[in-house]
Amino acid sequence: MTPKIPEKKLGVNIDHVATVRQARRAPEPSVLEAALEAERGGADSITIHLREDRRHIQGSDLFELLRNIHVPLNLEMSVSPEILKIALKGVPEKACLVPEKRQEITTEGGLDLFNKRGRLERTVNALQKRKIEVSLFIDPDEKQVREAARLGVEAIEIHTGAYANASGKARNQELERIKRMARLGSELGLRIHAGHGLTYGNIFPLLRIPGIREFNIGHSIVSRAFFVGIAKAVAEMKKIITSGK
């Protein structure tokens, strides 16, 4: 009997709904309403990044979402002690550890698991003690994948930014890197997620990579939502992910 292939899932990042709100420090658009609309469109999880500079998502958003949404919440976070304290208070279902620079417009690359290893290990252990599933946002690099397995996390999220920003031969090379690392991660017992820079157009080659089980997408969906609404924008992406077309 052929084993059933797990369904590919969609995590919807709603940070940029908060970006619009924070531009005016106004009560709208509502981050919670955006999350609920994403659920209606078929989101399997909601992702938010609580940055140290609070440029979009606020601590109050995290707790409001935890009280009201019906799908798992994936909290992107740095290894900052302040952010860890908030995460341990809220206890989201998932936490994805990411690098963070104050000057960057968006996350510029994967987490270097060999930098500040002690703090990284303490953060992972503290989250796992509260039964929070931990993933690490890393570049498709063999040393990083093997170190993620050594750390004992449940999953890795492969940074797809280099793939998304490349074209022609360079894009094909990045795609091959992702394929190899997805296969290695799976062999090491890690669940494989992918995200950053993914759109309605460039996601198709990644859907053919067997090991990737979850895609976390934000900017492209929120951009599309300006014209069709969040639920429809999410439903369109969910259809692409589940059907491949």
Residues 66, 46: Cα–Cα separation, whole Å: 10
Distances (CA, A) of 116 to 24, 60, 122, 145: 36, 29, 10, 17
| Per annotation, catalytic residue among 16, 56, 159, 196 | 196
Q: What is the pLDDT of residue 1?
A: 42
Q: What is the average pLDDT score of the chain?
A: 94
Strands (DSSP E) contained in 71-195 are: 73-77, 94-97, 133-138, 155-159, 191-195
Q: Which of 37, 39, 76, 147 is catalytic?
A: 76
| Mean pLDDT of all residues in 50-75 | 97
pLDDT classification of 2: cutoffs 50, 70, 90: very low
Domain ranges of the chain: 9-243
Percent of the chain with pLDDT over 90: 91
Q: Fold for 9-243, please state it.
A: TIM Barrel (3.20.20)
The CB density around residue 2, as the number of other CB atoms within 10 Å, is 4
Q: Is the pLDDT of residue 3 over 50?
A: no
Using pLDDT thresholds of 50, 70 and 90, give the confidence band for residue 107: low
**Which of 16, 49, 56, 193 is an active site residue?**
49
76: annotated active-site residue:
yes
pLDDT at 105: 53
Whole-number pLDDT of residue 102: 56
Q: Residue 106 above 60 pLDDT?
A: no
Q: Radius of gyration of the chain from Cα atoms?
A: 17
Task: Find the helix packing angle between 117-129 and 81-90, rounded to 10°.
Answer: 10
Q: Record the tokens describing residue 149, joined without a space.
A: 């397995």
The arithmetic mean of pLDDT across residues 58-75, rounded, is 98
Q: What is the pLDDT of residues 226-244, one digit of tens each?
A: 999 999 999 999 999 999 8
In the three-class reduction of DSSP (H, G, I as helix; E, B as strand; rest coil), residue 244 is classed as coil
